[in-house]
Amino acid sequence: MSRRFYDVDEAQTVHITSAREDLEVVLWEKDAAHPNGELFVGGEIVARAALTPKVVEKLNAKQLRVLTAEEAEAHEREREARQAHARTHAAAELRKQRRMIYTNAFGSDRGFDEHFPPPEAA
């Protein structure tokens, strides 16, 4: 009987991430040994992986690196903080664009804040 992804023992896996500086995909592999039966590593992604031959090959080639559980958690917190900052910046840019469209359509931005309250006020 073959192993299914939900039979994977967490103790037999490690946290890994890309050792590359760019966002290129380092490894994509479908294998029942990995949690969820699949592994995708690239960019800032931290994943749990079984030590399959392909993973070991990439580790030996220094394209992947192993993280402790604490390092993996810290990496994820930093990534989430960067993404939250990027979302906030994107929301501010969208608001500026909406204000410009509103102003062009109505001749002024009077009433804009009533129709589109700032995110913190929403």
Concatenated DSSP letters of the chain: ----GGG--GGGEEEEEE--SS--EEEEEE-TTSGGGEEEEETT-EEEEE--HHHHHHHHTTSEEEE-HHHHHHHHHHHHHHHHHHHHHHHHHHHHHHHHHHHHHHSS-TTHHHHS--GGG-
pLDDT digit string, tens, across residues 100-118: 999 999 898 888 888 888 8
Hunting for tokens 């559980």 — which residue is that?
69
User: Domain-by-domain residue ranges, the chain?
Assistant: 5-67, 73-104
At residue 49 the predicted structure's pLDDT band, cuts being 50, 70 and 90, is: very high
pTM of the predicted protein model: 0.63
